[in-house]
A and B are shown apart, each in its own frame.
Chain A
Amino acid sequence: ASQHRNTDSFDYSSYHTLSEIYSFQDMLVAENPNLVSKIVIGQSYEGRPLNVLKFSTGGTNRPAIWIDNGIHSREWITQASGIWFAKKIVTDYGTDPTLTAILDNMDIFLEMVINPDGFYYTHTTNRLWRKTRKPNPGSSCIGVDLNRNWDADFGGPGASSYPCSITYSGPSAHSESEVKSIVDFVKSHGNIKAFLSVHSYSQLLLYPYGYTMTPAEDQAELDSLALKAVTDLASLYGTTYTYGSFFDALYQGSGTSIDWAYNQGIKYAYTLEQRDTGTYGFLLPANQIIPTATETWLALMAIMDHTYQNPY
């Protein structure tokens, strides 16, 4: 049981266990029944629920924004930010005109912990675990890199077919339930207009493609929006982001979530790499959770608002 009584007394400036995050989600739903609901889109390999919070003010199958955190389990700042984002949405709805306008017309789906098995493992056994916890037949090495498992040039350059690699793609596209559940959800929804994946820690904002140097059809718009997003982000604490296509700004990577999303017709597909400034890496101190989440939110808001203002 969580020691927190409600989401107002929840400690957003600390890292939390998976059970505490699940409790937080249930509290937020209970406190905001007309705005927040919980959807279980599937189960992880070890049987944990894949919870998605839906923020909706009504309507049927409205255009929607997808946000996910924690695909790489050791990037704790991302799951912690996801908690903060959820509270921010319910706090700002009705007071912040931009978010209010978005939510009056669109839904937001937030998956705070894409990889719950890996996250649990980082708390119990190995703080630096990145992949899932699914055994690989014929290998003593465990787990798949969920951000190489998507059907977007699956198994191509920038992913590994070696199960011991931290970028192991898995045996086939969407072989992992954590990915397949999102794929099924997004496809069945059919009206997702932005797909935002939150990572850490190299201060990047990336758009498709990762698997090819060929520019995305919407590259000019994606690039211009990325500039707006990183400018808004930097306005708070001066945190500088580099932006560009995944291929150009980072490296070639195949099988990534945003490339899959973009190829599904979701134009506004971005990966954010949250801060560190080259001191702590994956071990960002807890006192930086709120500043990091706050600045990240500005970038997310820029993209969400643009998505709302530019229907397609």
Chain B
Amino acid sequence: KKTFEGHQVLRIIPKDDAQLSLMKNLEDMNEFELDFWRGVTGVSMPVDVRVPIHNLESVKMYLEAQNTEYSVMIKDLQVLLDREQEEMKSAAR
């Protein structure tokens, strides 16, 4: 079963057209192995993206280099998944 230890979901809110364009570029970058949970729509609209642990530092550096602010929506995805599994097992019992 695929696990997601250390993966984070970042919330990025593009503040202007330049940052919007940056987000669109990010969507097209395969090397970061990003999984967009909420895609790029418009200025001031949140973009949520899952970042694998091995690319976290690079992605954050990329965003910071472009002066793009982000927040961590989910700090460790696997923690939530484990909790979900435990709740399912508990409910089944």
Residues of chain B with a CB closer than 8 A to A283's CB? 74, 77, 80-81, 84
State whether A251 touches B38 (Cβ < 8 A).
Answer: no
Closest to B42 in A: A251
Most chain-B Cβ atoms within 10 A of its Cβ — which of A11, A13, A286? A286
| Interface residues as binary, B70-90 with A (CB distance below 8 Å gives 1, 0 otherwise) | 000110010011011001100
A286 lies within 8 A of B84 (CB): yes
B88→A15 contact, CB < 8 A: yes
Which residues B47-93 have CB closer than 8 A to chain A?
48, 50, 73-74, 77, 80-81, 83-84, 87-88, 91-92
CA gap between A101 and B58 in the complex, in Å: 58
Complex-state Cα separation, A178 to B70, whole angstroms: 37
Q: Does B32 contact A (CB under 8 A)?
A: no
- In A256-306, the 8 Å CB interface with B consists of 278-283, 285-286
Q: Assuming A278-B11, A278-B73, is B39 touching A15 (CB within 8 A)? A: no
Given known pairs A15-B84, A126-B2, A128-B50, the reply for A281 and B74 (CB within 8 Å) is yes
How many residues from B make CB contacts under 8 Å with A? 27
Q: Assuming the A-B contacts A125-B1, A166-B36, are A14 and B41 also in contact, with contact meaning beta carbons closer than 8 angstroms in the complex?
A: no
For chain A, what secondary structure do more than half of its interface residues adopt (helix, strand, loop), or is it mixed? loop
| CB-defined contacts of B81 to chain A, threshold 8 Å | 127, 283
**Cα separation A278 to B37 with both chains bound (whole Å):** 11
Q: Is the CB of B46 within 8 A of A11?
A: no
- How would you classify the secondary structure of chain B's contact residues: helix, strand, loop or mixed? mixed
Give the distance in Å from the alpha carbon of A124 to the alpha carbon of B4 in the complex. Answer: 14
Judged by a CB distance under 8 angstroms, whether A3 is at the interface is yes
The answer to whether A280 touches B2 (Cβ under 8 A) is no
- A23 at interface, CB cutoff 8 A: no
Q: Is B41 a contact partner of A250 (Cβ separation < 8 A)?
A: yes
B73 touching A281, Cβ below 8 Å: yes
Contacts of B39 in A (CB 8 A): 251
Q: A127-B84, A278-B11 are in contact. List 19 more A-B contacts (CB 8 A).
A: A14-B88, A14-B92, A126-B2, A127-B81, A128-B2, A128-B4, A128-B35, A166-B36, A201-B38, A251-B41, A278-B46, A280-B74, A281-B73, A281-B74, A282-B37, A283-B74, A283-B84, A285-B83, A285-B84
Q: List 21 A-B pairs, Cβ < 8 Å.
A: A3-B92, A15-B84, A126-B1, A126-B2, A127-B2, A127-B84, A128-B4, A128-B35, A128-B50, A201-B38, A251-B39, A251-B40, A251-B41, A278-B11, A278-B46, A280-B74, A280-B80, A281-B48, A281-B74, A285-B87, A286-B84
> A residues engaging B (CB < 8 A)?
3, 11, 13-15, 124-128, 164, 166, 201-202, 250-251, 278-283, 285-286
